[in-house]
Amino acid sequence: MNAGPPAPLTLDSVGPMRILIVEDDRRIARPLVKDLQHQNHIVDWVENGQEGWDYAQAAEYDLILLDWMLPQLDGVSLCKQLRTTGCQALILMLTAKDTLDDKVLGLDAGADDYLVKPFRLEELSARIRALCRRSRIVSPMMLCQGHLCLDPSTRQVTYGGQILDLTPKEYVLVEYFLRHPGQVLTRSALVNHLWSFDTTAGEGAVKTHLSNLRTKLKQAGSPANLIDTVYGVGYRLQTESLAHSGSP
């Protein structure tokens, strides 16, 4: 990577994402982690391909920044494994290999884009924004449960047509609940989904974010128990009919 202080990544337009960086060069990875976290993204960083595989199996990532030359499992092999198992994350390969054959190999393995080292953080930022724009063409339809809706293409959440002003953590919570409607989500699962694996945030932080989210939902007109507490276990997003009926 080019010398000099890192420029901030300007990814606000794509909203908060969960990102996995698989890179064994700490000179590259550390500024990436810092800048992505500064933009409110949830970032995990591992230094070998096997750990990258393990992390990708344990969490749902929106984007994977994947080095080619990695210990234990190389980036091309890891990319193939991820795609074979149905991984839908955007994958951007970072590598010093710059021949046409190398690029074709990486893209054929399932990568969505390819960036040659050394690169500037501004270019990486632009590549990520472009990937996110292109992915909207095949992005999932709006997630809705009753009057609560989330548009993945705009990262906008509404209740009864009213736009909710959510923090990145609150947005991720809503998305997670909408992808698992009616299911009881344990507190530990929410902690793992909201924070990177090396963060020590606990269940108290989950309760705080949930409390703030519930307040915003109620202000928009939702029933008080739309996100229901299952005591001793976790939380669930109720169907609209159950929430209005006051069912526990």
Distance in angstroms (rounded) separating the CA atoms of residues 92 and 233: 37
Contact yes or no for 49/24 (Cβ under 8 A)? no
Closest CA to 148 of 166, 136, 165, 164: 164
Stretch (H or E) spanning 193? helix 187-194
Contact yes or no for 66/87 (Cβ under 8 A)? no
Contact yes or no for 47/56 (Cβ under 8 A)? no
Helix (H, G, I), strand (E, B) or coil at 241: helix
Distance in angstroms (rounded) separating the CA atoms of residues 230 and 248: 8
Mean predicted confidence (pLDDT) in 102-120: 84
Return the pLDDT at 5: 36
CATH of domain 143-245: 1.10.10.10
pLDDT tens digits, one per residue of 205-232: 888 889 999 999 999 999 988 999 998 8
Q: One fold for both 12-137 and 143-245? A: no
Q: Give the architecture (CATH level 2) of 12-137.
A: 3-Layer(aba) Sandwich (3.40)
How many Å separate Cα 3 from the centre of its chain? 29
pLDDT tens digits, one per residue of 68-96: 889 999 989 999 999 999 888 899 998 88
- Give the list of residues 6+ apart from residue 166 with CB closer than 8 angstroms, or none: 157, 174, 213, 216
In this prediction the pTM is 0.64
Domain ranges within the chain, ordered by starting residue: 12-137, 143-245
Could you give the C-alpha distances from 2 to 29, 31, 70, in angstroms and in order? 13, 12, 20
Lowest mean pLDDT among 49-53, 74-78, 136-140: 136-140
pLDDT class of 64 with cuts at 50, 70, 90 = very high
Return the pLDDT at 98: 74
Residue 7: pLDDT over 50: no
Burial class (CB in 10 A: 0-12, 13-18, 19+), 138: exposed
Return the pLDDT at 49: 93
pLDDT > 90: what percent of the chain? 29
pLDDT class of 65 with cuts at 50, 70, 90 = very high
pLDDT class of 4 with cuts at 50, 70, 90 = very low
Mean pLDDT value across the chain: 81
Contact yes or no for 213/237 (Cβ under 8 A)? no
Return the pLDDT at 87: 87
Distance in angstroms (rounded) separating the CA atoms of residues 131 and 129: 5
Q: Which two tokens stand for residue 165?
A: 């002003």
pLDDT tens digits, one per residue of 148-203: 998 876 778 999 999 999 988 888 889 888 888 888 988 888 887 777 666 656 67
C-alpha count within 13 angstroms, C-beta hemisphere, residue 129? 11
